[in-house]
Amino acid sequence: MRFIRVYQPTYSPAFSNSWWLAKSSTGGFQRPLGRVMLCALLSPSLLYVSLLGVQLRMNVFVLGALALTTVGGTGYAGSGTETWLTFDKQLESLANVSAPSQDSGLQFGAWARASYSTSSDITVGGNDLGGFSIDNLRLNVNGTRGTWAFFASIEGSDDPGAGYFGNTGVGEDLTVLDAMVSTNVTDQIKFTAGQMRHPFLGSALIDENHLLFLDRTINGESWDGRDQGIIFSGSYDQLGWWISGMNGADNTGDEYSFTGRVAYNALGTGAGQSHEGAYGAGAESNLTIAGAISDDGSFDNGQAFAIEAAFTQSALSGAFEMVDYDDDIGDATPWSATVGYMFQPDVWEAAIRYEDFDDTADSNMITLGVNRYIDGHNAKWGVNYSTIDSDAGDADVIAAGMTVGI
């Protein structure tokens, strides 16, 4: 039995007990050609890789043309300063729970990410990894009707994330990622229903165009899948909370996944709620501390616990996250720590991230990254170097990527 984390309404918060790819007979790590997906195995084993085949289509160009045609002057890729365009802002804002008071019509936004990865330790079809990837091609649409708000997002890439494992993406059939409606139950409580992310881990709730590195942490990759259900959320002073009930691993079976999350802005206005890193951070200290619990009734032992913190002060940023997975969903406690520094305000930023996978192969990874911001997170490029140390084999991956939003 396995769960696949891709762009479809499939729930998969678990990993196998070992996170790395099986080593090929040629001495490198073999990544099959085509669409690669991360899967969670219930028994301890090496990270499973599934091949669905290569389907090169023109969808990427179709979606790109659609975005350029429909966005126009109202287009927005999401900078973290707007009130309501992405579901991330709706979930992560600890202060704004006021409902729209008038109809807004439809608003569109789009963003795309592309990258190039190379490694002599990962092989693709017998050759060393060295190729281009369409990481994301996203179209967002939102609007309001009275006190109700609507949001949907469409994805045109099949990239599963975790590019440090050699995963790449191509243009695919357009897939609905998010589709939800929300309204205020009271001045302090918001109700959301539809297809969305579990409100479990802060880094997984941030869209890919607002990341500090080209890819999420291993925990973030595990929790950014979509599921169907409902969420109640709200805030009081510096405290925010979320409670959700969703389908869970058995899809529309009668066992559900319940998640509870609290986040406290211990200093300033908080950090890490709409984007990673120190871009746009003021001189004051900002600190958010959060914790979450999730329990999937499809498993006898299907609980997961998370603790995390994010900090910014002027040019400095930091983040920490740890998730403890119960016996049936990984039996591991992977964690990560990140430090970043903006050595030219809102222009150049460097960061380093350490991750401990807590697997049977004693795997860990260090990622170094440099970002150049042209127009904030709406136009930027970055270079990452990841080095993986594991009893299953070591690997070094260099990647460069660009993000453009309109």
- Find the range with the poorest average confidence among 40-44, 354-358, 373-377: 40-44
- 63's enclosing H/E stretch is helix 59-70
Which pLDDT score is estimated for 102? Answer: 59
Read off the pLDDT band of 376 (50, 70, 90): very high
Read off the pLDDT band of 17 (50, 70, 90): very low
Cβ contact 405:392 at 8 Å: no
Mean pLDDT over each residue of the chain, to the nearest integer: 79
- Find the range with the poorest average confidence among 36-45, 260-269, 370-379, 388-397: 36-45
Residues 6+ apart with CB under 8 A from 21: 29, 30, 31, 46, 47, 49, 122, 165, 166, 392
Mean pLDDT for 27-52 is: 30
pLDDT digits (tens, 9 = 90+) for 268-278: 999 988 999 99
Which pLDDT score is estimated for 94? Answer: 33
**281: closest CA among 308, 310, 316, 309?**
316
Order of strands across the sheet with 2-5?
A: 2-5, 36-41, 48-51
Residues 6+ apart with CB under 8 A from 387: 365, 366, 367, 394, 395, 396, 397
| C-beta atoms surrounding 186 within 10 Å | 9
pLDDT at 198 over 50: yes
Domains along the chain with CATH numbers: 2-405 (2.40.160.10)
Mean pLDDT for 170-195 is: 92
Distance CA 329, CA 333 (A): 11
User: What percentage of residues in the chain have a pLDDT greater than 90?
Assistant: 63
pLDDT digits (tens, 9 = 90+) for 63-114: 333 333 333 333 333 333 333 233 445 444 333 333 444 566 789 999 999 9
pLDDT at 2 over 70: no
The DSSP code sequence of 248-313 is -TTTTSS--EEEEEEEEEEETT-SSSS-SSSTT--SSEEEEEEEEEEEETTSTT-EEEEEEEEEEE
Mean pLDDT for 172-187 is: 92
